[in-house]
């Protein structure tokens, strides 16, 4: 047996992914590692995003950046460091963020006169600039976004889901009236909603946060929430009506058309690398990742299959190379296609393409070529079949769209199937353990005390008061008897255990 | 006089830019402010990149990212924070960077056990990961890039040119042989060279750095250097053959085909937001910014001009709106076009389009429409004229290319005109004050002592030992008598005062 045959026959060990039912945290870590998405770094709580994971982020960014620009928002860049005194200017904000900041005390070999905080979010530094930039009503609206890294010192971290450093975009806009600010808050939420549906095939619930769950410094916070397969909810993106908190703390004022001094209205909104965690947890299965076509680095993988076991990848390349480039790569040039010409065995390649969650796998051997066909396998459904090579382009075009919609519908069904309506706290305690959303009438009161009690008692917290639809931005459902208190002013609210 | 006429006639004050000859630093700051590129932040040495400046960066990134990916390099993301001990593992590296780091001592309200450095560059953290990722020759080459913010605590800062925080890309690659690593170092330099020529219209000299000017931890450093209009040189991008320094410090090893343990060869390379400073300093003039078409956020501005002074922008919009959208915007949809419908006077608009460096200005009034013509003004040359509206698309297409090439040629001529060859140190001292490159035969010795003496004496330092061409990567010129020492082993070297 010569060396090349030897190489061909070398069987790379295929690690087994721990079944989710057995250990969901080990399952997640196995998928991360085997799909080559991310790695643990030597710095506590910070992750390394590997090329395959980063490509998903690039696809997210490309799509979202376009949607954000279509709202008339322009990208800019503000400093990483924020003077500690800035954080202190808004009392809720400093209470919310100071405990989780990373603090720079030394620069250029010397102790700094004023400590710097590594941005956990950029309202304070941005408003300090807005106060220089906004003078008259003509300077409004001012719509800015930045794509940056932020740091929040988290106690328990999970790659993508909750990390001490993560990547996100943060939009910060100013308006001369509250209606426009509120509309912008909803427009941003709608961008996330539509992106998540169309590109991530994630069903999300849009709604308003309760007082205790809103952003530190906001008047109102809205979010899109998504249910993961393990029954826990994930907050995927948020959008805030900031009202006058930061604006006043940083003396942002403008003169209106009558030359009167006015206070502008503000919004901020963001989505982060956490979304990638959501995609893993909502779509993944025991074979690994299942990627929606909209965010798959490779939408299609082609695996050429030799005739005999002894054929090397070079032999296969010589046999199939021209055929593949003419009939597959050229035909599918508008999609993200990869051809696996590596030396590994077909079995290894199949398993690997499943771990990596590639939506469509195509297989091509001599039999297929003779019949002018190609074999296919659909990752999310397991569907298999053959198609005429002459139909390939149209079939791929249709199939990718179908997969995207079907994955969304399946996630929507899962979410609705796992949403339980309850009326009493006893019922609540019984069902909340099983995972999924629990829908109740809830009167949050005005001190957050009952939410806190419920959380301590059941580990569940409110996710949001859901909208009828993100377009209407009206709270769904009516008012009823609170499941927890004696109040009959409860509002439809979703609770869940969450990430 | 009613309010709307009043608004129309309102003359926004046009600030004067300080002439460069009068005060070049004030000129630079005036251009930054009036062209709306950047602003000073409350954090020492950190800048805010405003949307107009950031758009230039986005255009740079889009173009360079494509070139980098074409080299087979994949994007990833590594943590912002680096354990201080990592910096210490490579002795030259810690000496080079420790004095200019920002240090995080507290996280989550507690003092950290190990201080963290905010990345000044990422070799150390990346190599610590490479040591986990590389096992066999099959894992090589490994080609990674990241687009990130980095921090170097600078004493004197100038927006874009030298700031405590800046944005860049850093490529980090590993190879199983030195030739491939060296080729990658040159390929990266070539990407920068070609990008700067084609998109930034900057003429640069590519070459090798002397020992005292190379990167802390590299065996060889290469750079592209560009001459600014004030006669100072700017290092625009660098590329390093890292050799075994970091690889050994972080125990990166692989087994070759014979199962022997080997040490891989490494490269790293980067280009930053400093390039935007280079574009301002190399092309700008006393009227403001002059942008090359390749990096101009708006390549073309159209200014519609009313008939009478009393016409409001709304009147003008009603008269010209459809004509402009049909005959200009639609026709020029593949270019970056802006139409200025604002209420400001035509004079203000003209001046503003000049400050912002927009390559082509088009003007359209009733006279033009009657004659089916459009008036134009070319920012960099001052050329004016009229063209038939039916020729607009082809003319713009040709003209943008011409402007790009002519700006490059003009910068090349300026650079060559300002490169003086001298043979003695006396001559050197006389001409170096005037600015520009001074070309000499120089024997750097092996301790950097003479370079240091020359710098203290004349404020000039070596820029590079230039290549014949970036493709050949061979040092230009021969060997001759050193202008500074008695050695006759001097190599052609460019000196200049620099940023």
* DSSP letter for each residue of B45-59: T-EEE-HHHHHHHHH
Interface test with A, best of B81, B129, B298, B344 (most A CBs within 10 A): B81
Angle at alpha carbon of residue A413, lines to A410 and A414, rounded to 5°: 85
User: Cα(B286)–Cα(A276) distance, rounded to whole angstroms?
Assistant: 49
Average pLDDT over residues A54-61: 98
Do residues B359 and B296 lie in contact, with contact meaning Cβ atoms separated by under 8 Å?
Answer: yes
Q: How many inter-chain contacts (A to B, CB under 8 Å) are there?
A: 157
Instruction: Report which secondary-structure segment, H or E, holds B123.
Output: helix B123-133
pLDDT digits (tens, 9 = 90+) for B341-370: 988 888 999 999 999 999 999 999 888 888
Neighbours of B258 (CB within 10 A): 7
Coil, helix or strand for B301?
strand
Contact residues on chain A for B133, CB-CB shorter than 8 A:
39
Neighbours of A253 (CB within 10 A): 14
In angstroms, what CA-CA distances link A238 with A192, A220, A383, A455, B314? 9, 10, 36, 21, 38
Helices (H), B336-448: 346-355, 366-370, 392-417, 425-432
- The answer to the question of residue A3 being in a domain is no
Domain boundary among B415, B450, B468: B415
Looking at residue B320, what is its pLDDT? 82
Closest CA to B195 of B72, B314, B61: B61
Average pLDDT over residues B54-60: 98
B114 touches chain A (CB under 8 A): no
Coil, helix or strand for B317?
helix
User: Cα(A252)–Cα(B70) distance, rounded to whole angstroms?
Assistant: 46
Residues B314 and B269 in one domain: no
A 339-368: CB under 8 A from B: none
Residues B46 and B77 in one domain: yes
Contact between chains at A54 and B74 (C-beta distance less than 8 A) = yes
Token couple for B396: 């713009």
What lies within 8 Å, CB to CB, of B152 at 6+ separation is B97, B100, B101, B120, B164, B166
Contact between chains at A107 and B101 (C-beta distance less than 8 A) = yes
> Per mean pLDDT, which of A172-181, A322-331, B89-98 is the most reliable?
A172-181
Token couple for B115: 């201080």
The CATH number for A319's domain is 3.40.50.800
Residues A94 and A213 in one domain: yes
Q: How confident is the model at residue A27 (pLDDT cuts 50, 70, 90)?
A: very high
The CATH number for B248's domain is 3.30.930.10
Neighbours of A390 (CB within 10 A): 12
**Number of structural domains found in chain A:** 3
Contact residues on chain B for A129, CB-CB shorter than 8 A:
39, 41, 48
For residue A83, give how far its alpha carbon lies from the nearest alpha carbon of chain B (Å): 7
| Segments forming the whole domain that contains residue A195 | 36-283
- The answer to the question of residue A17 being in a domain is no
Residues A330 and A456 in one domain: no
Residues B327 and B369 in one domain: yes
pLDDT digits (tens, 9 = 90+) for A293-324: 999 999 999 999 887 666 777 777 777 888 89
A108 touches chain B (CB under 8 A): yes
Residue B3 confidence (pLDDT) above 80: no
pLDDT digits (tens, 9 = 90+) for B389-407: 999 999 999 999 999 999 9
Domain boundary among A231, A250, A283: A283
Residue B8 confidence (pLDDT) above 60: no
Looking at residue B309, what is its pLDDT? 65
Beta strand pairing call for A265-272 and A233-243: antiparallel
For residue B379, give how far its alpha carbon lies from the nearest alpha carbon of chain A (Å): 25
Residues B138 and B223 in one domain: yes
- The answer to the question of residue A223 being in a domain is yes
Coil, helix or strand for B361?
strand
Closest CA to A164 of A174, A155, A149, A154: A154
Contact residues on chain B for A51, CB-CB shorter than 8 A:
74-76, 144
Contact between chains at B83 and A43 (C-beta distance less than 8 A) = yes
- The answer to the question of residue B22 being in a domain is no
Looking at residue B9, what is its pLDDT? 41
Mean pLDDT value across chain B:
94
- The answer to the question of residue B9 being in a domain is no
Do residues A347 and A303 lie in contact, with contact meaning Cβ atoms separated by under 8 Å?
Answer: no
Residues B392 and B432 in one domain: no
- Furthest CA-CA distance within chain A: 91
Helices (H), A105-177: 123-133
Residues B164 and B96 in one domain: yes
Residues B212 and B235 in one domain: yes
User: Cα(B289)–Cα(B284) distance, rounded to whole angstroms?
Assistant: 5
Looking at residue B446, what is its pLDDT? 84
Residue A299 gets which letter from DSSP? S
Average pLDDT over residues B275-296: 98
Residue B68 confidence (pLDDT) above 50: yes
Q: How confident is the model at residue B93 (pLDDT cuts 50, 70, 90)?
A: confident
B 116-135: CB under 8 A from A: 116, 118, 125, 128-129, 132-133
Mean pLDDT value across chain A:
94
Average pLDDT over residues A213-219: 91
Coil, helix or strand for B151?
strand
Looking at residue B478, what is its pLDDT? 81
Average pLDDT over residues A225-238: 98
Do residues B306 and B316 lie in contact, with contact meaning Cβ atoms separated by under 8 Å?
Answer: yes
- The answer to the question of residue B359 being in a domain is yes
Which range is least confidently modeled, A1-15, A457-471, B76-90, B371-385? A1-15
User: Cα(B458)–Cα(B60) distance, rounded to whole angstroms?
Assistant: 35
For residue B440, give how far its alpha carbon lies from the nearest alpha carbon of chain A (Å): 35
Q: How confident is the model at residue B13 (pLDDT cuts 50, 70, 90)?
A: low
Looking at residue B4, what is its pLDDT? 40
Q: How many CA atoms lie within 13 A of B245 on its CB side?
A: 23
- The answer to the question of residue A375 being in a domain is yes
Residue B103 confidence (pLDDT) above 80: yes
Residues A62 and A142 in one domain: yes
Q: How confident is the model at residue B262 (pLDDT cuts 50, 70, 90)?
A: very high
For residue A150, give how far its alpha carbon lies from the nearest alpha carbon of chain B (Å): 9
Residues in chain A: 499
Percent of chain B with pLDDT strictly greater than 70: 97
Looking at residue B477, what is its pLDDT? 77
Contact between chains at A118 and B83 (C-beta distance less than 8 A) = no
Residues B45 and B156 in one domain: yes
Token couple for B473: 């990567």
A170 touches chain B (CB under 8 A): no
pLDDT digits (tens, 9 = 90+) for A358-408: 999 999 988 888 899 999 999 999 999 999 999 999 999 999 999 999 999
* Closest Cα in chain A to B48: A78
Neighbours of A384 (CB within 10 A): 11
Residue A209 gets which letter from DSSP? P
Place of tokens 């106690």: A155
Looking at residue A309, what is its pLDDT? 65
Do residues B56 and B160 lie in contact, with contact meaning Cβ atoms separated by under 8 Å?
Answer: no
Percent of chain A with pLDDT strictly greater than 70: 97
Looking at residue B317, what is its pLDDT? 76
User: Cα(A74)–Cα(A143) distance, rounded to whole angstroms?
Assistant: 6
What lies within 8 Å, CB to CB, of A2 at 6+ separation is none
Average pLDDT over residues A117-126: 96
Residues B398 and B483 in one domain: no
User: Cα(A311)–Cα(A299) distance, rounded to whole angstroms?
Assistant: 27
User: Cα(B142)–Cα(B127) distance, rounded to whole angstroms?
Assistant: 11
pLDDT digits (tens, 9 = 90+) for B417-444: 999 999 999 999 999 999 999 999 999 9
Domain boundary among B283, B303, B320: B283
Do residues A287 and A354 lie in contact, with contact meaning Cβ atoms separated by under 8 Å?
Answer: yes
Do residues B191 and B184 lie in contact, with contact meaning Cβ atoms separated by under 8 Å?
Answer: no
Token couple for B412: 């090349």
Do residues B35 and B355 lie in contact, with contact meaning Cβ atoms separated by under 8 Å?
Answer: yes
Interface test with B, best of A62, A76, A85 (most B CBs within 10 A): A76
Residue B307 confidence (pLDDT) above 80: no
- The answer to the question of residue A23 being in a domain is no
């Amino acid at each position: 047996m010569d060396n090349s045959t030897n190489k061909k026959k070398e069987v790379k060990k295929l690690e087994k992914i721990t079944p989710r039912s057995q250990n969901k945290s080990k399952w997640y870590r196995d998928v991360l590692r085997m799909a080559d998405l991310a790695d643990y770094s030597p710095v506590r709580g910070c992750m390394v995003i590997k090329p395959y994971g980063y490509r998903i982020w690039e696809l997210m960014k490309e799509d979202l950046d376009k949607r954000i620009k279509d709202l008339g928002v322009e990208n800019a860049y503000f400093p990483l460091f924020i003077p500690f005194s800035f954080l202190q200017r808004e009392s809720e904000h400093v209470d919310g963020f100071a405990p989780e900041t990373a603090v720079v005390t030394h620069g250029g070999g010397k102790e700094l006169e004023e400590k710097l905080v590594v941005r956990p979010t950029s309202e304070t530094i941005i408003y300090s600039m807005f106060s220089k930039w906004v003078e008259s009503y003509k300077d409004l609206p001012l719509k800015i976004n930045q794509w940056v890294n932020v740091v929040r010192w988290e106690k328990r971290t999970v790659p993508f889901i909750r990390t001490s450093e993560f990547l996100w975009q943060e939009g910060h806009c100013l308006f001369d009236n509250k209606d426009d600010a509120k509309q912008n808050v909803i427009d941003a939420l709608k961008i996330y909603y539509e992106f998540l549906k169309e590109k991530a095939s994630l069903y999300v619930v849009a709604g308003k946060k309760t007082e205790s769950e809103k952003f530190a410094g906001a008047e109102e916070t809205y979010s899109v929430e998504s249910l993961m397969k393990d029954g826990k909810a994930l907050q995927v993106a948020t959008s805030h009506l900031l009202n006058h908190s930061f604006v006043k703390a940083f003396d942002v004022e403008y003169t209106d058309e009558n030359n009167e001094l006015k206070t502008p209205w503000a919004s901020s909104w963001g989505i982060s690398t956490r979304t990638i965690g959501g995609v893993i947890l909502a779509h993944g299965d025991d074979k690994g990742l299942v990627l929606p076509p909209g965010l798959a680095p490779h939408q299609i993988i082609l695996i050429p299959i030799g005739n005999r076991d002894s054929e090397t990848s070079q032999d296969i390349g010589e046999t199939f190379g021209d055929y593949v480039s003419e009939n597959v790569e050229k035909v599918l040039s508008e999609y993200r296609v990869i051809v696996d010409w590596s030396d590994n065995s077909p079995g290894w390649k199949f398993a690997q393409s499943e771990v990596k969650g590639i939506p469509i796998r195509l297989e091509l051997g001599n039999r297929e070529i003779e019949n002018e066909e190609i074999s296919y396998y659909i990752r999310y459904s397991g569907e298999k079949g053959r198609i005429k090579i002459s139909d390939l382009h149209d079939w791929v075009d249709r199939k990718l769209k179908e997969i995207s919609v079907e994955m969304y519908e399946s996630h929507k069904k899962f979410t609705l199937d796992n949403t339980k309506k309850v009326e009493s706290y006893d019922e609540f305690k019984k069902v909340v353990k099983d995972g999924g959303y629990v829908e109740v009438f809830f009167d949050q009161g005005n001190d957050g005390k009952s939410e806190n009690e419920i959380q301590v008692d059941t580990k569940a917290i409110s996710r949001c008061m859901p909208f009828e639809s993100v377009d209407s931005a009206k709270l769904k459902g009516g008012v009823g008897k609170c499941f927890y208190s004696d109040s009959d002013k409860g509002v439809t609210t979703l609770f869940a255990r969450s990430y």
